[in-house]
Each structure stands twice: as C-alpha cells, then as structure tokens.
C-alpha cells in the first residue's frame, strides 16, 4: 500500500482505514478490516488503550484511581467506537476468543494486530502469513511520549512447593542450576553434541529435535534477556522473533502502583471487572453513547464497591504507599 510506518494514533488510524477501504488483497471485495482484537479487548485494541494512556493506575485528586474510570479511558472508548462505526474494527470482536483470533489473523484480512513476539517462528501463525507483517512500536501518546503496555503484577506466574515435598534442599539446588549459565543454555538448546554443536562460538542445531520441557520449567528463567539468552533464542527462532522480543521488553512496563496495592478481600465480591467489560463492549459497539452514559457508568462502578476500594487503597497509599513507591 506504500504507506509510511505509522507513529501516532492518527497515523495508525490512516493505515487501518486504508487497509479497510483500499482492497489491499485485490480481490474486488469489501472484506478487509484495519484492526483485529479479541473479546477481552486485547491483542489489538490494547495497542490504543496504551496510546491513550488508559492502562495504568494513577493518583488523581489525591486518590488511587483505576484506569477504567479516567478521562483517558473514555477517549479510548470513543476512538474504538469510531473504528466500529467506520467498519475498521471487525464488529465480531465480542465473540473472538484467542483461537478464533488466530484463525482470523491467518486469513490476511486484517491490517493491525498485536500478538506474541514468537509469532514469526511459524509455530502458531504460518510463516507465509507473518512475512506480510512488520512489528512497530506502539502509537505515541498525545503528548508525544512513548506508550507502553502496563502490567499489574511483578510476577506472571508463581512456583509453589507442596508441604509434603522431601529433599527441599536438593530441589532448590536444581532451581539454582536451572538459572545458572549452564542451566539456561540447556533449557533453550538441549544436550551438547546431541541437540546442538558449538565450535568457535558458533552454535548449530543437529537433526535431533528438542524434547518438550514441562512448561513450568520456563518459570525459573522468566525475565532473563541477557546477551547469551538472546544468542540461544536466535538459534531456535528467526531473527524477526528475537527483534520482536527486544522491542517487547522495551514496550512492557510494570504498573508499580497497581502491583503494590494491598490485597482487599472484599474486592472480589464487587464484580467491578464485569461492570467495566460490559460497558466497554457496549460503548465500542455503539450500544451506549459514551458522552451520554459515561457519568452513569462511573457512578455505577463506584457505587458497586469501587468507592470502597479506592478509599481502602488511598488510605494505604497515604500511610505506607508513598514510601514504598519512592
């Protein structure tokens, strides 16, 4: 389509609109969309949630404030509704689960998606599909600052050891070995001179395919993106995947305020997530006019327990949190 690489929200909008209207596959049919997303507003729409700075908790008027009730989230919803109205966003998104997302993605009918760094490997998405896409940074925020995906926890997974486990010391030694240079190399490449050969610093895989390692083994190496690890990944994955991983490491950032918030036992009963997800879908589809219904949504969120949660977190922030988050 010979369009420049998009940098701003407006740039991305123009690219998505062109992909929707200009018949990029040349089949003469109106069957392409600018954006694909999942029913939890991820893998696509989240790109713009980040660009509108509508992902992270913040302090507003002296209160700990969830992103879902901020003016930025409101603007994000209005933008997404615009994409639906102009048929840029696939209107079937409320029914798009992760498997359906991948099937739709493989059709090459979508201009913009967001996904995993390892997609170029060909394991989930065919290489002939991924060869039609390039990875680019998130759209800049309105003030020109780089956008980032915010993660509400410093841990993606946890490892639990049963109380009945024997030889705990031996288990801990094994985990220590797993994150050692030798263990990291083993987990990525396998057994030397069987799965791979190394000579003069160059690593080549043999015909002996790596046996699957239990997924939990990866938990001990999470976050270790050292030069050696990148070298190992580069042996197993194509360069595009390694480049994607390096970009993803820069884009993803922890939401330190959210991660530090103390557990609030009553929160699970408030069902705030359901209130937000239902309103988000209605607003995006146009079943709720954002300008007319936003205040009612925020009031419902707060009256359903949001106010109590905000009060609880704000009290913690004023007494302890400020020191924790210095």
Domain containing residue 303: 9-154+256-324
Q: Are 134 and 264 part of one and the same domain?
A: yes
Q: What is the pLDDT of residues 145-172, one digit of tens each?
A: 999 999 988 877 777 889 999 999 998 9
Asked if residue 231 is part of any domain, the answer here is no
Boundary-marking domain end, from 177, 195, 221? 221
**In the chain, % of residues over pLDDT 70:** 97
pLDDT (0 to 100) of residue 43 = 87
Residue pair 77/283 in contact (Cβ under 8 Å)? The answer is: yes
The CATH number covering residue 308 comes to 3.40.190.10
pLDDT at 222 over 90: no
Query: Between 209 and 173, where is the model more confident?
Result: 173
Two tokens, residue 154 = 């410093």
* Alpha-carbon span 5 to 133, nearest angstrom: 12
Q: Are 121 and 23 part of one and the same domain?
A: yes
Asked if residue 267 is part of any domain, the answer here is yes
Asked if residue 213 is part of any domain, the answer here is yes
Asked if residue 19 is part of any domain, the answer here is yes
**C-alpha separations of 254 from 88, 234, 250, 258 in Å:** 30, 26, 11, 9
* Alpha-carbon span 222 to 155, nearest angstrom: 9
User: Any idea what DSSP says for residue 8?
Assistant: B
pLDDT (0 to 100) of residue 220 = 67
Number of compact structural domains in the chain: 2
Token pair 């390692």: residue: 213
pLDDT (0 to 100) of residue 26 = 94
pLDDT (0 to 100) of residue 2 = 84
Q: Are 269 and 133 part of one and the same domain?
A: yes
pLDDT at 246 over 70: yes
Asked if residue 229 is part of any domain, the answer here is no
Q: How far is CA 162 from the centre of its chain?
A: 31
Q: Are 149 and 285 part of one and the same domain?
A: yes
Two tokens, residue 214 = 């239990």
Q: Are 267 and 138 part of one and the same domain?
A: yes
Q: Are 55 and 86 part of one and the same domain?
A: yes
């Amino acid at each position: 389509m010979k369009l420049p690489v998009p940098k701003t929200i407006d740039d991305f909008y123009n690219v998505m609109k062109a992909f929707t209207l200009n018949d990029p596959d040349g089949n003469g049919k109106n069957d392409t969309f600018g954006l694909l997303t999942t029913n939890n507003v991820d893998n696509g729409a989240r790109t713009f949630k980040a660009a509108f700075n509508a992902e992270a908790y913040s302090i507003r008027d002296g209160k700990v404030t969830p992103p879902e009730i901020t003016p930025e989230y409101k603007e994000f919803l209005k933008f997404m509704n615009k994409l639906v109205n102009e048929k840029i966003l696939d209107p079937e998104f409320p029914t798009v689960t992760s498997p359906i997302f991948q099937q739709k993605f493989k059709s090459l009918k979508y201009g913009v998606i967001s996904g995993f760094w390892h997609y170029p490997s060909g394991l989930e998405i065919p290489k002939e599909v991924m060869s039609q896409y390039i990875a680019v940074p998130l759209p800049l925020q309105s003030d020109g600052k780089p956008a980032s995906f915010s993660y509400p926890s410093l841990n993606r997974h946890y490892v639990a050891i049963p109380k009945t486990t024997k030889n705990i010391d031996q288990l801990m030694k094994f985990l220590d070995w797993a994150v050692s240079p030798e263990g990291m190399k083993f987990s990525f490449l396998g057994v030397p001179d069987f799965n791979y050969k190394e000579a003069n610093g160059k690593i080549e895989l043999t015909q002996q395919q790596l046996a699957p390692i239990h997924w939990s083994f990866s938990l001990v190496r999470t976050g270790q993106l050292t030069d050696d690890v990148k070298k190992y990944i580069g042996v197993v994955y194509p360069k595009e995947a390694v480049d994607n991983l390096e970009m993803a490491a820069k884009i993803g950032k922890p939401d330190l305020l959210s991660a530090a918030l103390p557990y609030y036992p009553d929160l699970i009963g408030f069902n705030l997530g359901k209130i937000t997800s239902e309103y988000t879908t209605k607003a995006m589809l146009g079943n709720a006019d954002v300008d007319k219904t936003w205040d009612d949504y925020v009031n419902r969120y707060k009256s359903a327990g949001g106010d109590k949660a905000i009060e609880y977190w704000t009290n913690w922030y004023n007494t302890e949190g400020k020191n924790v988050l210095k």
